[in-house]
Structure formats: C-alpha cells, structure tokens
Chains A and B, each alone.
Chain A
C-alpha cells in the first residue's frame, strides 16, 4: 500500500471522529481538500517542485494522530516557558496540534480575537468564512492534506486600525511517547490599518520521530502592517512541512523572517500575493544545517497590482552532509507596472559533502518594472580566514566570525531588538555546536 493510501483510508474511516469536535467552518473545507489530496497523492521526486525533497518518504512512518482530541496531561505553560529576555509577549501554545492558552496573558485591545481556531470558528463563523481556506485552497497536496485533517490551531484577528504593541507569540510543541503527526492551522487576519508582530516558535520535537504540517493563512488589509518571525528549533527526528500564504492589500507591509536553527527535514513554502497597489513585502530566511539536515525553502511572490515592492533574501550555511534547497520565484503579472523586486540567495557550503540546490526565477509579464535576482554558492573566504589568523584569531574562531557575519545580514531584518539580540546569540551558540546538546527550548536558557 502506498503511503497516501493509508491516510486516505484513515480519513474515510474516521471522518466522523475528525469532524465531531470541530467547527463547521473547518469541516466544510475538508471534503474538497481530501478529494484533491486523494487525486494528487504525496508529491514524488519526479515533480519539478519536489526534485530534491523526497517528502513522500517522510510519511512512511506509522505516525499516531490525535484524532480523538485527547488532552495533553501537562500544561505546556508549566514546563515550557519559551521567554525571550526583555521581550514581553502575548503567548499561546499549540501542543500536539491543540490550542493551550498561556497562564497570564495580558489583555488585548477590544475586538481582537486570539485563541483556538476551532473554538473561535464556532463563535465567529460569519466573520471568518471569507478567509478560512481561501488562500490555501489552491495549495499543493500537503496543504490539502492539512485542510482535510486539521482540528485546531490559532486564530489571530485584529480589527480595523487596531495596533497590538506587544509581540504575539505562538509556541508549537509535541508531548508524546509515540511517533506522532500533528497538523496545525493558523489564520491571521489584519483588517485595514491594523498593526502587529508575531513570533512563531516551532519546538515540536520529541525523542520519537515526528511530523508536523502547518498551514498559515495571512490577510494583511489595506495600509496594515504585519511582521512574522518564525523560528524552527526542532531535532533530527522531526519533519516540518509548512505553508505560509499571504495576501496583501493596497499600501500594506509584510515582513517575514524564517530562521531554521536546528531541524531534521524541513520544507517551508512562502506564497505572497501583492493584490493591492503600493504594497511592500520583505521575506527573508536563514538556514543553518549540519549532519544530515535537510532544509527546503520555496517562495513565490506574485505582483498582481502595480507600484509594489518586494525584497527577498535567503541564506544557507551548510556543514557536514546537510542539504539546502532554495527555489524562489518572482511572478510579475501584466498589470503590475512600476514593480520593484529583488531576490537574493547566498549560500555557504562548508564541506564538499554539503549540497545546495538553488533555483532563482523571475517571470515578468509587465514592461515597466525593475527586477533583479542573484544566487551564489561558495565557501568561506580563505584570504579573510588567513588575515584573521595573522591577527591572532584561531582558525576555528575566524570561521565562526565569518559564518556569524554571513548570517547577520538576515537577522538584521528582525525589527524587535530583544529578539534580534537573542537570535544573534543563538546563532553564535549554534555555530559553536552548543544548541545541539540542548533539550527543549534554548530561547529561555
């Protein structure tokens, strides 16, 4: 039996169990998504978008899924604080794909909804209906899989002209004694003129093999501004398959920084649609790999409306036998005149066994645009290393300084100072090999 067949059977046999605790809004989208998944199956490595990322093999493990919504015994907030020093946040947890509130969350501005997607979808069906699964509906088979199976996640809804000054933090965790799959869903809606910043930490790793699918749909209304910082700090036994769909209206701002500090097998797909004039998007990523880690970042930025700017910067530092994949596409549609778009991908392969597959793409159908892209793969600069050694800096230290400097360009995109400082420190620790030995979250250590 192929890997997908097991999940097809699982869905057919347990659809009632899956749907029972869930909001109608979530259930309504399942049927079509399931049919699409069933038709497509897990992507194979002969498909252009999955050439270097064998995702089907990741589903071979016999994972448990918490379809019966058994609540985790321990409260995440008691065992896992995930605090960034000097950074107060509104926090929420997703433990094994179920929402858990933080203990002492300070109050949010009136009208803001922040909590369990499933619970809030039951109470606010009409509000969320125009948004839920609208962007992800055309996603790939994994996104369809997520829509078919998800039972909970997080909703963040910010009404018109409302600003949340404190950072919103979402921490994903797994607590399990078996091989576990978790499917989680985020829906983030900023109405016109709203403003927020969001930190999403993925610590969903256990001693057992685990797989998470995560679909995040983001709507940034006219003139609204949203920053999302995603940090993955999982383990070798974890597989993360994340989709981020973003739709931006006129004059909105979106800033995304995705840092893969430690991981096993990761695929991050970022799909940004600039639908209104004058929008600005900035998407950045940093992946640090060693051992046999696999990190695949795929991006699509679609300029549908004119006078928008997009800027993209992805960097990889690959040591030992790690693998990096980057495919970034800028699609400039016919009406997107006066687009300014730039894509940069820079990669360091520190050993001859590390592999980087880079595929920068520009597709332009408008004639009055300014677009550029560039991609490089290289090694650490030997002449710089020697220069530093001549000044007395030991070679290993010199390597760290150069790697740290290379990574710094991405981290500088983080606008929250406390988080930026923390990440600088974590990246430095990562290079010294100190993070690998940490259990759990090093954000709070």
Chain B
C-alpha cells in the first residue's frame, strides 16, 4: 500500500513553546490509526499543525501528503486535497447557515478540481443524503453553523461536513468528548459508513471507548511531544487497563 501521509521529525511551537518534539508517523492509504496519550502530550497540536492552524509554527521536519509538501499548502488547499479535521471544539458561526456554509465549501473544492459549481437542486439533494448518515435534523440545516447546538449536535455536524466533503484523510480530534453513548454510536457509525478502502483516518482520543466503534489498525501513544509507543489495537486495551503512568515512567 502506498503512503498517504509521512510525518518526519516534526517539531512545532506555539507562542515560542515547543510542543511537538520530533514526531514520526506514516499512514498508508486505507489505514485507521489511533493516537492516544495523556492531557498535554501534543495530540491536538499535531492535528492543528497538519491542517495549518496559523497559531502554530513548524520549526523542523516535514510532512509529505499524497507525495506533496503539505506544509507548503494553505489551509484551504489542504482541505481541497482531501484533508479534514473534525474539531474538538467546533466553532459557532453566527449568521451563516449550514446550507450557505456547505455550499461555499463544496463549490470551493469543486473549483479547485476544475468543476462547475453544483446546481441548487443537486446540492440540496446531496445535503439530504448526507444528513441522513448522522441523523442530523433538517431544521438544523437552516440554522447558523453550530450556534446553540448541543455537544452531540456539534459533533454530528462535523461528521456531516466530513460526509459532504469526502476527505481522503480525516482527523477526528477527541470526537468522543462530550458525547453520550447513543450520540457516540451515531457518530462512529457515520464515520464507518464513510470509510473507503482508499481513505484513511487518524483518531485522536483519550479513551478506548471510541475505538470499540472505530477499529484502529495501529495505535500510537503520544507523550511529551513524541510518539513513544506504537502497536496494534491491543495497546488501546492495555492503556485502558493500566492508565498512562507506566508510559510516563518509561519516558
């Protein structure tokens, strides 16, 4: 299988403070990777750096995505190239309806690919189809993006957007946080339905819980800005049982 993402010796800082201290990670097309680790280990920084958040500065290393230098691309072009982040804290955008927001997103991606903007009928049909995947209420579609949404609705809205944009590499940043069991199942089922043989997923999570639904091929432990352990799915179970202290002691 070909490498979709190669992270080599990645160092990154925020406000001058080094958070990532040499990450190495390779994701092949079709794989599901889980990144686990205690609070403050750099998990969210890694996802933010990959999607080009302006608050973070890469000081060393490189990221090759689909054979391209990912770090040289603008955040929107990374999206157009199929990189998607399900935000840990989805942002509320007052006054912008989900419909208008998604239309702008879908058409920007189409323009990047040299396609005509989607006509209104097709677009609304697509919205309907994808909404059904995560049981997103049709009433929400006319509301402002994430405004006044419950925690569960926000996360379902993230997966709905993922369905609309059909990414190649999806990063799920703590998608399980703030979800009750039913919402977690709906979200996870949505992710699984969207999974294709040639798309990959990076699941960032504290807990084993989400991994019961989204089965990883490989599990990494991130601690203090480095990946300190990599193994199969059994590692997640071991962490659930033993906690992170033994990892901290060893590193």
Bound-state Cα–Cα, A383 to B145, Å: 13
Q: Which of B79, B92, B144 is A390 in contact with, Cβ under 8 Å?
A: B79
Q: Which of A384, A392, A405, A409 is B76 in contact with, Cβ under 8 Å?
A: A392
- Does any Cβ of A come within 8 Å of B161's Cβ? yes
B104 contacts A409, C-beta separation under 8 Å: no
Contact (A392, B91) CB under 8 Å given A386-B54, A402-B96, A405-B96: no
The stretch that binds A, out of B59-67, B105-113, B176-184, B229-237, is B105-113
Bound-state Cα–Cα, A384 to B144, Å: 12
- Mask, B158-177, CB within 8 Å of A = 1, is 00010001000000000000
Bound-state Cα–Cα, A392 to B85, Å: 11
Contacting residues of chain B (52-96) with chain A, CB-CB under 8 angstroms: 52-54, 74-76, 78-80, 84-85, 87, 90-96
Closest CB-CB distance, B6 to chain A, in whole Å? 21
B96 contacts A389, C-beta separation under 8 Å: no
**Residue from the set B53, B78, B94 with the largest chain A CB neighbour count within 10 Å:** B94
Q: Which residues of B contact A406 (CB under 8 A)?
A: 94-95
Contacting residues of chain B (204-219) with chain A, CB-CB under 8 angstroms: none
Q: Which of A384, A389, A390, A409 is B93 in contact with, Cβ under 8 Å?
A: A384
Contacting residues of chain A (378-420) with chain B, CB-CB under 8 angstroms: 381-384, 386-395, 397, 401-402, 404-406, 408-409
- Does any Cβ of A come within 8 Å of B51's Cβ? yes
Given A389-B74, A389-B75, A390-B52, 6 more A-B residue pairs with CB atoms under 8 Å apart are A387-B87, A388-B105, A391-B79, A392-B105, A397-B108, A402-B95
B91 contacts A391, C-beta separation under 8 Å: no
Closest CB-CB distance, A139 to chain B, in whole Å? 36
B165 contacts A409, C-beta separation under 8 Å: no
Contacting residues of chain A (161-218) with chain B, CB-CB under 8 angstroms: none
B93 contacts A391, C-beta separation under 8 Å: no
Bound-state Cα–Cα, A387 to B165, Å: 14
Q: List 6 A-B contacts (CB under 8 A).
A: A387-B90, A387-B93, A389-B75, A391-B165, A401-B96, A402-B95
Q: Which residues of B contact A391 (CB under 8 A)?
A: 79, 101-102, 105, 161, 165
Q: Which residues of A contact B93 (CB under 8 A)?
A: 381, 384, 387-388, 402, 405
Bound-state Cα–Cα, A405 to B101, Å: 11
Closest A-B pairs by Cβ, 8 of them: A405-B95, A392-B79, A387-B91, A389-B75, A391-B105, A392-B108, A405-B96, A392-B109
Q: Which residue of A lies closest to B93 (CB)?
A: A384
B95 contacts A409, C-beta separation under 8 Å: yes
- Does any Cβ of A come within 8 Å of B142's Cβ? no
Q: Which of B76, B90, B144, B161 is A389 in contact with, Cβ under 8 Å?
A: B76
Q: Which residues of A contact B95 (CB under 8 A)?
A: 402, 404-406, 408-409
Q: Which residue of B lies closest to A391 (CB)?
A: B105
Closest CB-CB distance, B143 to chain A, in whole Å? 12
A397 contacts B53, C-beta separation under 8 Å: no
Contact (A401, B101) CB under 8 Å given A384-B93, A393-B76: yes
Bound-state Cα–Cα, A368 to B90, Å: 42
